[in-house]
Chains A and B, each alone.
Chain A
């Protein structure tokens, strides 16, 4: 294999990591608070706001139900407005982030739902404010579940980012399509797949490690 080819593969790998990292971090920063909000505004919860809860829930469901490939194309004007282009890694990161936010939010809400209600009751009996309950009880107690959610999200983002390659997003998916598929180069195809598999394994192992470390149950 030529050194140019190796360079190409290396660049594509870094592009994929970049897209996953940017969309992963932003979706976590937005998705975790959204997930908490979805949970605490439920009826009979500490900040029960049934109407707000229904609206947020509906928006989240809409975000979750649009197929990624369609979302990507549909928001091109928005992407262009935000990053000035509709192709490239930055442009791909926009739909990836938007798709991942509701995904993270629902998973975080699920993780919070696993916390026994007695813990919140105990905190209330100590005179905790809702904000204290969120920061000192709910989020720390759900830490393991939140790490699991972020791991699942990172893995999903790896495969979505490969899809982004189909519309010129760059990265391993792009490389696989252009060199492996369009130019019938099975070696490139295989290498791309192997790197993706290794990447997913890596994220999963890191996630498992963080979950183990935070779990004292």
Chain B
């Protein structure tokens, strides 16, 4: 439904086109979001998320590459053809961007007015949308009278008014408190279900990715560095940045005192410290006690956590494996053979 092919965006400072002063915000991005999917792009601020999503509806025209939405190559369009195509792409924003001079009803009606729709038809279209977002009773109020969450609901209704195939969400929950964020995400999931709408969202919050996305891409310094199903991403991110995001989200870092003692190479008298991620069947298997019995190593659990990621359960643990070197190696092999992500964080000297 949305396809970005080799999209780059370079900004030149005003008036100059020299390569030295240019800033490349997006580098050779390839992205495909199939019909009906919710795809999240996560990254730190300044990573190029906003540029990426603005390239999809050509609020920013890519310097190179092509953007195709619903089979139509947008990068080949301009002027009124592009405006027509934009009617089929809804967008919501971090700061809602509602018109203060219009009532809730008139805000939702705006895209329909732009399309030249008749008053009666507009009324028929807007009223059910306000019901869908739960604001039918606020139709005559002005945005200033609404809370942040209500404003975003109005913005969602407005984005849906033209019956788009695609919804772009630009940090749509970043200005909202956690409770309201949850409610807005529920609404987006609901819309995705009911209308089969394809959603591309950008965010810096793992919570958003965890609760509604099917797939996720990681953006760093203008490049899409990782893409995975959300369940896989939360169990085994393949990049360093992905692991940092996950650890920050899970608040699962080895204790500070341990980090200071960690050494990269194993010594003659050291134990490995491992980070284990369980998912699927491994969660319900009593692996730790089996490890102790079958490999005869002792396991000291330093930190542990169980999370539900959509329909999957994810267990995470940081543990020290205590025993002779060959036994701990055996233990690591055993763990790896049991469908479990093992990462050796380092080695600590034996205390005794």
- From B82, B113, B144, contact of A136 by CB (8 A): B113
| CB closest chain-B residue, reference A121 | B59
Query: Which residues 123-141 in A have Cβ within 8 Å of B in the complex?
Result: 123-129, 132, 136-137, 140-141
**Chain B residues, Cβ within 8 Å of A141:** 99-101
Main secondary structure of the interface of B (DSSP, over half): mixed
B35 interfacial contact with A, CB 8 Å: no
Contact status A126-B110, CB under 8 Å: yes
The answer to whether A216 and B142 touch (CB under 8 A), given A119-B97, A125-B59, is: yes
- From B14, B87, B142, B143, contact of A126 by CB (8 A): B87
- Looking at the assembled complex, report how far the CB atom of A120 sits from the nearest CB atom of chain B, in whole angstroms: 9
B310 interfacial contact with A, CB 8 Å: no
**Chain A residues, Cβ within 8 Å of B162:** 126-127
Contact status B14-A43, CB under 8 Å: yes
**Chain B residues, Cβ within 8 Å of A217:** 100, 144
**Chain B residues, Cβ within 8 Å of A128:** 83, 114
Contact status B86-A125, CB under 8 Å: yes
Main secondary structure of the interface of A (DSSP, over half): helix
Contact status B91-A125, CB under 8 Å: yes
> Within the assembled complex, what's the spacing in Å between the Cα atoms of A214 and B82?
33
Query: Which residues 65-101 in B have Cβ within 8 Å of A in the complex?
Result: 80, 82-87, 89-91, 93, 95, 97, 99-101
A116 interfacial contact with B, CB 8 Å: yes
A-B pairs with beta carbons under 8 A, tally: 68
- Looking at the assembled complex, report how far the CB atom of B23 sits from the nearest CB atom of chain A, in whole angstroms: 15
> Within the assembled complex, what's the spacing in Å between the Cα atoms of A125 and B87?
8
**Chain A residues, Cβ within 8 Å of B87:** 126-127
**Chain B residues, Cβ within 8 Å of A216:** 100-101, 142-144
Chain A interface size range: 20 to 34
A122 interfacial contact with B, CB 8 Å: yes
Contact status B97-A127, CB under 8 Å: no
Q: Which residues of B contact A (CB under 8 A)?
A: 14, 57, 59, 80, 82-87, 89-91, 93, 95, 97, 99-102, 110-111, 113-115, 142-144, 158, 162, 168
A-B contacts besides A123-B114, A127-B83, A136-B113, 15 pairs, CB < 8 Å: A43-B14, A116-B95, A118-B95, A121-B59, A121-B93, A122-B93, A122-B97, A123-B110, A126-B86, A126-B110, A126-B162, A127-B115, A128-B114, A216-B142, A217-B144
Between-chain CB contacts (< 8 Å), 21 pairs: A43-B14, A116-B97, A118-B95, A119-B99, A121-B93, A122-B91, A125-B57, A125-B89, A125-B91, A125-B168, A126-B162, A127-B85, A127-B86, A127-B87, A129-B83, A132-B114, A140-B99, A141-B99, A216-B143, A216-B144, A217-B144
